[in-house]
Chain A
Amino acid sequence: MFFPTQFPWAKDQTLGEHLEASGVSRRDFLEFCGQMAVLIGLTEMAAPRVAAALEGVKRPVVIWIQLQECTGCVESVLRSADPSIGELILNIVSLDYSHTLMAASGTAAEDALHASMKANMGEYLLVVTGSVPLAEDGMYTVIGGRTAKEILIEAAAGAKAVIGVGACAHWGSVQAAKPNPTGAVGIAEIIKDKPVVHLAGCPPIAETVTATLVHYLTFGGLPELDGDGRPRFAYGARIHDQCSRRANFDAGQYVEVFDDEAARKGWCLYKVGCKGPETFSPCPIFMWNMKTSWPIGAGHPCIGCTERGFWDTMTPFYDRLPNVAGIGIERTADTIGAALAVGTIAGVAAHATATTVHQIRSRKKAAAAAEGGHDGQD
């Protein structure tokens, strides 16, 4: 709606000129800027500032590479709210290379990638989805005859900034779950010499991508990050601290099983394993699929998908704590604790009994010795 495809954004046109040519009204544009300003952590008052900055930008080049991944992130991103990120990346941001979205294929596509990288050396924005498998010299992901690692290193070399979209690029996601047969790692393990923004999640919400791109275009740089490379504007607070069911948590009102009365009343999902208390994500605020709903809103506990290592540490998904790996079998923390406590009680009881026997014996011995000694003196 904002960026109709019949008006492709020419290379040297500014975004302002482009929007005017596309027939986007000033009011619609400001409204969009207002929404984005709020998402990136400014107030709506900043809309004119964002608008002024956006209007002046020339078309940036985005190269989007997909490594060891499932394409789910791209699918999620295409489903962003209006103005859809699909339109944004296809029109505002020229997408020079993307497996899913580009028209070219085969050698033509690889040539296009190289041509674009060369022409925009040091200028383009690199978006990466997917992890980098390192086992077996990277043979688990080979595209156009080159391993994921080679592709990433080459693409990152000329990039102005790198945005990792999704849990795979962040830390490896499901393929990096134990025992991680492909040796998958996140892209920051490979790209050490420039800042990498991680839009965490499996998949991330489309608006986090849109908003990060808008931030990049507006401020000419990447947003402020948390300790794990995630933008603070989106990942700056726990689900638990923004959750609509938090009042039920504090009140002690919990869903016990998924079809009980409490579930119907929309009470807190803590006892069915909700990982909201350990997950930083904008789900309750941005919501999903054009603000239709979000997982906890729909009655399912959060599984912690924006956190590093969540397949290993947030499972079992329907319980509060991870299990402890034992010899051959996993046990809950409480099984282990209770077994040790019972063992201690049994040990103490046995020891007390043995001590008593020992005391009786040594008293008898002492008595006998005293008698013997008495006899001897006589």
Chain B
Amino acid sequence: MSARAAPDRQDPMRIQVSRTGGFAGIARRHEVDTGGRADAAEWQALAEEALRSARDTPPTGVPDGFRYAITVGDRTVYCADPDLTGAQRTLISRVLKEGA
């Protein structure tokens, strides 16, 4: 990720991703706190893109498909496989991989 951040005009942001459902029915939950991260601006841009045109209620989804809840700050949106936008897919995989 880019190191070009502007921490002075960025509020630290918590990005949470919860994944439920799936064939195994095993839930995963991770979050990234952008505070103090050099790539905070990039995370913020990705999160905003992921939230754009996202639903405020969970979609029904498809049998065995993963369901996701993405929380950025105080807003939570929902999406489900396989109907994710590119930004949602990228954000989900990064948070689930990098998040604590």
User: A and B: real partners?
Assistant: no
B-side residues, CB < 8 A to A, are none
**Which residues of A approach B to under 8 Å, CB–CB?**
none
